């Protein structure tokens, strides 16, 4: 990730603000406010604004006149209780806003979370930056042979080199032709004076899906956790997971008590079906239980055993 | 509206905070932050948190790295343009949170706006305050004879007095019986020691709809404007309108440029149908136009004439 | 629940329709379409429209051109997989619409689920029916002494009788005064000719919260399941639970495969936190584990033991 | 647009259904149900399901037990009234579901309407079709010189030819390399036996934004009208407008009364700001009014004059 001088200066200007406020603040989050945290080869996330902290959740749950805090231990107990029992509305009382740069094919996954507010850089109006995502060689994975939606081993040697060359050349060529059609380069210089280029809203269709875009993305804490629970999960595509992981860090700095409860009950937790509960009960009481009796499919059985670290029970 | 000593102290404690932040602030709004602004006889609104200001809208519309402000005049032009052309997403980038006390029958109208976040005081868990709304005599209106959903003249003399007596007596009696069933008074004192009262979640059903409740209510600026456009309108019920009017004042302190554009294009503006446009065109060019030719219903015709202040054209 | 002759006729008229359609239909649901299923003393639910069936979920998950069904067993496997892995969007492709009559204090709980479409009977415009909820004696529960938000034992003898009398008398009296203020009875007859009553939008504030209201309520299957998961749960207030239970039956008739997966994975399932997983693992392997080592609070420990039917491990 | 034999057969199978239902039906819409209506060079829209008709809106607005219809003229009057006064919730009671094939860069505009339900064809899981959008020569427009977000004249001669060649060649080449990286062709044949290709979730990033995708898209009538109002407007990009225009036709077949009101009040109507109202008033009364006195910007003035067909007043 490289920022222009101007962009670096704009970020510094924002960070040099020292405003007074009667609002609650999150001191650890303030420290990294506006910072561009690098993700992938040209992407980043930046926290650009936020509202509320852990005490805001307590305040809303109690509908109190004041700050809602009695003692940290009481607050922590209440937040854990709310998380455990899916009392979701108090977590909606905190809000955060990110500025994010990301490849278009990841943006298309991301936007499926409809509960956030989004303003994306407009390629109808402006020319997109000349930046495209090329995976690191360690992330250049083959198609999984067992999961149609997953990755297998990393590609090696010539095949890896060839894939990277194709991705790079195609991105560069289609971008060059994008400029050609626009009759304008990414830096604003005109190619042929006196000629009018193709409309921007049309020319963009020639770009490949690894081209970077950017947006402002704002959401409340509840919906952010829903997003992170799915996207920081190991089933998520690696590229979006790196964004989710970096965002998890910002949640930790922002609302540390909620973060801890979230990691315990959601990210690190598991769900057990009614049939699965019977299997676990029998195992605890030392009874034998076979997959046939359980009523679980092989896939379900293995997911259950895996969730409780019972690797020896996994059926090949 | 009367606050207890404790509540007054809690508000003062919040207002005495002097935190430093790198976030943008809205100085005029900071001045009234946490203040309980009285509405009706026992209600209030309090701004308890906010995110962003006018420059945040510009920043999001431009997806810029920095503050998004070039000069105030440029920002103002852009905000007006966005408002006029229904570019709605930049206005979603500002967020505000209110603490509101209001009668239940108004809360029921209010909650129909589904895009906000809400935490309401729980009458399953706690005892509701002994406060009920009684209209001022000037707002004690008769049923309108022409609009089934509106108010006519103000009631007078004996009839007014009787209505107020009925409202007051019924609210007091049902509240007294609420306490009786709970075996507990509003201040927490037990009525008959050694006896268990009816469950709170049941006892509350005896209260009248003018009993006050309270909630935390958080929304973005776009949805707040949608709410205010409908609820600060003269078609809205007087009681909810007083809340909306007070909230309009807070919007003015928060995002003055957006407020001005909102008043010009939405609150003070009007819509004209395709048939209505033809009527206006003919009037401008001095042609005669009758309601029959216009294709408008009498009601539509009168709404159009009224919108443009053409009182002499209104048909009785 | 009593319907007027007119209402009964209107329902019969709807049921006598025999339209032809190329849309998919749910034959079991068609059988009860428009039926008013009685709930509580005066309430009901009626399914008045629906869109899609189990195959619509499969069709959307596959984005197929045709019906999406290969064989029932394949469809069933896919639906279970989607449910287990929180692939939520295919379930949004089915939609259902209910007509519901319910007490206002329950309507206020219900409306907190914001993702549905709602049209409520307007008491600004019309007079509410003279019907209020009075609990059966078996549901007249005392306040729980251990859970501030729950019910304890059933009230008995004189106390029960007194509570019912208070509820009944207060509802009748406030309704009578509502009519008085309106100068109009529930059946539309004017009380004093030549006098104008109080505006309806004001008079309604005198009614108690057990007065019945009604609405059209439309939602997609995903959000319906979210609603039912919370409201058919034993933590939910009895009164809303009876509605949820009746709605579960309609889901079974509508989308039987999805219903089965929902009961197994959601309603009958449980969640285990990361700390809880370690406790279960140790129990399975026969290791001793105490609450102190577990890091769980007493409440969490008991919830975990209770979820797996380990009553002997519950700590008093 | 070309469908495979299999797809054509699947559509025919759906159309040959003749189910009986007690639900209301929309006979004109039934006639085209499941039809693939061609849009652009390879796209289409198909209505695949719907719920409700014009009478459903009336029924919900009245919260009636029966069909809600008195006479067509009464229903029409009520629907017009609801549309004029922004009573939005009754229009949410109708729902429609489309199957749509569209270029990715248009899908990205479309998805910004967040209130619909969407299931998109997964390029993580499957291989995308070998189809990309190439504009007709009459739609190959130059960048507008006055509106950064618009189109100017159509490109001609060599420039047009060159643009089309670049678009075609780049799409074909990147698709060929997509297959190469996957080690699999669009029809499923393996290129090099015994080799594993790049993961699908990665290979897709090489495709250009004019590649076609498809999705199931479901929305209620209110949100559909909000979508159509913006996307059937002349400010919308031509490519999405062609989809919106075809959808307008389906609305006309589905809910003809609502369609008429929508065209009159929304699509054909205009909004006038509070300053604009004064200008119109003065014009009607024959007073002189200049742009300086009006307080309008030049752009606003011209938009106002244009809305009322006063071309001679437009300022260059």
DSSP for chain D reads: ----HHHHHHHHHHHT--EEESS---HHHHHHTT--EEETTTEEEEEEEEE--HHHHHHHHHT-SS---S-HHHHHHHHHHHHHTT--GGGGG-EEEEEEEEEHHHHHHHTT-TTSEEEEPPTTTSPPPS-B----GGG-EEEPSS-TTSEEEEP-HHHHHHHHHHHHHHHHHHHHHHHHHHTB-TTS-BSSTT---B-HHHHGGGSBTTBEEEEEEEEEHHHHHHHHHHHSSTTS-HHHHHHHHHHHHHHHHH-HHHHHHHIIIIIS-EEE-HHHHHHHHHHHTT----HHHHT--HHHHHHHHHHTT-GGG---
Q: What is the pLDDT of residues C229-259, one digit of tens each?
A: 999 998 899 999 999 999 999 999 999 999 9
Contact A52 B49 (CB under 8 A): yes
D298, D225: one domain: no
User: Do A91 and A226 belong together in one domain?
Assistant: yes
Distance separating alpha carbons of residues D266 and D283, to the nearest angstrom? 24
What's the longest Cα–Cα distance across chain D? 85
pLDDT recorded at residue D67: 65
**Distance between B49 CA and the closest CA of chain A, angstroms:** 6
Q: Is residue D230 part of a domain?
A: yes
Active site residues of D: 231
State the nearest Cα–Cα gap between A224 and chain D, in angstroms: 16
Indicate the residue of C264, C277, C300 with minimum beta-carbon distance to A274.
C264
Are A158 and A109 members of one domain? no
Q: Which of residues 152-211 of C touch D (CB under 8 A)?
A: none
CATH at residue B246 = 3.30.1360.170
In a domain, B47, yes or no: yes
**Are the Cβ atoms of A170 and D177 closer than 8 angstroms?**
yes
For residue D54, how many other CB atoms are within 10 A of its CB?
Answer: 25
Confidence at residue B68, expressed as pLDDT on a 0 to 100 scale: 55
Domain edge (last residue) among B166, B188, B206: B206
Q: Which of the residues of B are catalytic?
A: 231
CB B245 within 8 A of CB D237: no
A61 touches chain B (CB under 8 A): yes
Contact by Cβ (8 Å): C115, C95: no
Domain boundaries, position C189: 137-206
For residue A11, pLDDT beyond 70: yes
**Nearest residue on chain D to C20, judged by CA atoms?**
D20
Give the tens place of pLDDT for each residue, C122-151: 999 999 999 999 999 999 999 998 888 889
> How near does any CA of chain A get to the CA of D118, in Å?
8
Name the pLDDT band for B151 (thresholds 50, 70, 90).
very high
Residue A242 lies in a domain: yes
Q: Residue C71: what pLDDT?
A: 67
Neighbours of C290 (CB within 10 A): 8
Q: Do B218 and A17 touch (CB under 8 A)?
A: no
Asked if D63 and D40 sit in the same domain, the reply is: yes
Average pLDDT over residues C7-35: 96
d(CA C140, CA C163): 9
Q: pLDDT grade, residue B49 (50/70/90)?
A: very high
Is the CB of A89 less than 8 angstroms away from the CB of B10? Answer: no
The answer on pLDDT for A68 being more than 70 is no
One domain for residues A306 and A167: no
Distance of CA C97 to the CA centre of its chain: 13
Interface membership of A111 toward D (CB under 8 Å): yes
Q: Six-digit token pair at D303?
A: 């938009």
Tell me what pLDDT residue A176 has: 98
Q: How many CA atoms lie within 13 A of B37 on its CB side?
A: 20
In the 8-state DSSP scheme, what is residue A39? E
Mean pLDDT comparison of B145-149, C69-73, D112-116, highest-scoring range? D112-116
Per the CB < 8 A criterion, the answer to whether B82 and B61 are in contact is yes
pLDDT of residue B143: 94
CA distances in angstroms from A125 to A260, D49, D147, D227, D237, listed in the order given: 43, 36, 9, 21, 12
**Confidence (pLDDT) at C172:** 98
Chain D contact partners (≥3 CB pairs within 8 A): A, B, C
Residue C68 has pLDDT above 70, yes or no: no
Q: Identify which of D142, D145, D206 has the shortest CB distance to residue A166.
A: D206
- Percent of chain A residues topping a pLDDT of 70: 98
Chain C residues touching B167 at Cβ < 8 A: 181, 205-206
- Find out whether C243 and C107 touch, Cβ atoms under 8 Å: no
Number of compact structural domains in chain B:
3
Classify residue C132: in a domain, yes or no. Answer: no
State percent of chain B over pLDDT 70.
Answer: 98
Residues D123 and D250 in one domain: yes
Same domain, A16 and A158: no
pLDDT at D215: 97
Co-location of D175 and D159 in the same domain: yes
Radius of gyration of chain C (CA): 24
Say if residue A283 is in the same domain as residue A256. Answer: no
Residue contact C237–B124, C-beta within 8 A: yes
Q: Could you say which of C67, C95, C119 has the minimum Cβ distance to residue D95?
A: C95
Answer yes or no: is pLDDT of C73 > 80: no
- Answer for the pair A245, A233: CB distance below 8 angstroms, yes or no: no
What are the structure tokens assigned to B167, written together?
């409202």
What pLDDT is attached to residue D69?
53
User: Band of the pLDDT at A73, cuts 50, 70, 90?
Assistant: confident
CB contact under 8 A, D159 and A111: no
Q: Among partner residues B143, B170, B177, which is closest to C196 by beta-carbon distance?
A: B143
C10: nearest CA partner in chain D: D66
Instruction: Give the pLDDT score at C315.
Output: 92
Domain boundary among B206, B227, B254: B206
Between A184-188, B63-67, D141-145, D261-265, the lowest mean confidence (pLDDT) is in B63-67
For residues C253 and C184, state if they share a domain.
Answer: no
Of C231, C241, C266, C299, the active-site residue reads C231
- For residue A316, pLDDT over 90 is answered with no
pLDDT tens for C78-137 read: 999 999 988 999 999 999 999 999 999 999 999 999 999 999 999 999 999 999 999 999
Looking at CA atoms only, how far is residue A209 from chain D in angstroms? 5
Measured between CB atoms, which of D22, D33, D93 is closest to C216?
Answer: D93
Among all chains, which residue has been given the structure tokens 């009380």?
C191
For residue C101, the surrounding DSSP H or E stretch is strand C95-103
A132 is a domain residue: no
Q: In this structure, is residue B228 part of a structural domain?
A: yes
Question: What is the number of CB-based contacts under 8 A between chain C and chain D?
Answer: 158
Q: Does residue D120 share a domain with residue D40?
A: yes
How confident is the model at residue B225, as a pLDDT? Answer: 98
Taking an 8 Å cut-off on Cβ atoms, the answer to whether B197 and C143 are in contact is yes
pLDDT band of residue B146 (cuts 50, 70, 90) is confident
pLDDT of residue D253: 98
Quote the Cα angle for B300-B302-B305, to 5°: 110
Using one digit for the tens of pLDDT, what is the confidence trace for D215-230? 999 999 999 999 999 9
Q: Which of D109, D172, D181, D239 to mutate to test the interface with A (most CBs of A within 10 A)?
A: D181
State the smallest CA–CA distance between residue B141 and chain C in angstroms.
Answer: 6
> Are A103 and A211 in contact, with CB atoms under 8 Å apart?
yes
Q: Taking a C-beta distance cutoff of 8 angstroms, is the pair D132, D210 a contact?
A: yes
User: What are the tens digits of pLDDT across the range B232-251?
Assistant: 998 899 999 999 999 999 99
Predicted confidence (pLDDT) per residue in B261-304, tens digit: 999 999 999 999 999 999 999 999 999 899 999 999 999 999 99
Give per-residue burial for C1-22: e unless 16+ CB within 10 Å, then b: eeeeeeeeebbeebeeeeeebb
B73 pLDDT higher than 80: no
Residue with tokens 């706690």: B126
CA dihedral C290, C292, C293, C294 (to 10 degrees): 80
Angle between helices D274-284 and B274-284 (to 10 degrees): 50
- pLDDT, average across residues B214-229: 97
Residue C47 pLDDT greater than 90, yes or no = yes
pLDDT band at C70 (very low <50, low <70, confident <90, very high): low
Question: Which of residues 213 through 272 in chain C touch B, CB cutoff 8 A?
Answer: 237
Beta partners for residue C226, in sequence order: none
CA distance C35 to chain A (A): 32
Its ipTM equals: 0.94
Contacts B235 to D, Cβ<8 Å: 85
Q: Quick count: other Cβ atoms within 10 Å of Cβ D128? A: 21
The predicted pLDDT at position A215 comes to 97
Among residues C189, C206, C223, which one ends one of the domains?
C206
Contact call for A93 and B3, based on CB within 8 A: no
Q: How far is A263 from chain C (nearest CA, A)?
A: 8
Q: Coil, helix or strand for A270?
A: strand
Most C-contacting residue of D65, D94, D219 (CB-CB within 10 A), to test interface: D65
- Cα(B68)–Cα(B51) distance, integer angstroms: 16
Same domain, A253 and A154: no
D interface test, pick of C6, C9, C22 with most D CB neighbours within 10 Å? C22
Task: Give the confidence band of A1 by pLDDT, cuts at 50, 70, 90.
Answer: confident
Contact yes or no for C274/A307 (Cβ under 8 A): no
Q: What is the pLDDT of residue B67?
A: 65
Residues of chain D short of pLDDT 50, as ranges, are none
Pick the catalytic residue from A148, A151, A231, A241. A231
- Return the structure tokens found at B72: 């105030």
Considering only CB atoms, D143 lies closest to which of A152, A180, A199, namely A199
Instruction: Give domain status of residue A197, yes or no.
Output: yes
D132 inside domain:
no
C-beta separation of A41 from A134 below 8 A? yes
């Amino acid at each position: 990730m490289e920022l222009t001088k101007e962009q670096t200066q704009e970020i510094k200007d924002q960070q040099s603000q020292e405003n007074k406020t009667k609002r609650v603040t999150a001191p650890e989050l303030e420290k990294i406010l506006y910072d561009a945290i690098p993700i992938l080869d040209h992407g980043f996330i930046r926290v650009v604004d936020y509202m509320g902290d852990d005490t805001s959740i307590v305040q809303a749950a109690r509908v109190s006149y004041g700050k809602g805090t009695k003692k940290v231990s009481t607050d922590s107990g209440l937040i854990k209780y709310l998380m455990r029992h899916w009392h979701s509305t108090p977590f909606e009382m905190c809000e955060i806003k990110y500025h994010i740069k990301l490849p278009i094919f990841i943006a298309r996954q991301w936007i499926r979370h409809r509960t956030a507010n989004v303003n994306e850089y407009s390629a109808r109006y402006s020319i997109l930056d000349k930046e495209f995502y090329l995976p690191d060689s360690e992330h250049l994975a083959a198609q999984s042979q067992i999961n149609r939606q997953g990755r297998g081993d990393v590609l090696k040697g010539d095949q890896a080199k060839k894939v990277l060359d194709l991705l790079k050349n195609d991105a560069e060529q289609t971008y060059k032709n994008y400029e050609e059609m626009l009759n304008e380069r990414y830096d604003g210089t005109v190619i042929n004076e006196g000629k009018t280029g193709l409309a921007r809203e049309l020319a963009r269709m020639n770009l490949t899906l690894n081209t970077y875009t950017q947006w402002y993305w704002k959401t409340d804490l509840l919906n952010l956790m829903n997003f992170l629970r799915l996207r920081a999960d190991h089933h998520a595509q690696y590229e979006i997971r790196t964004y989710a992981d970096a965002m998890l860090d910002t949640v930790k700095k922002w609302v540390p008590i909620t973060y801890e409860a979230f990691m315990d009950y959601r990210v690190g937790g598991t769900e057990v079906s009614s049939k699965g509960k019977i299997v676990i009960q029998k195992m605890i009481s030392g009874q034998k239980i076979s997959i046939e009796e359980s009523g679980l499919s092989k896939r379900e059985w293995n997911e259950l055993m895996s969730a409780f670290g019972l690797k020896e029970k996994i059926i090949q």
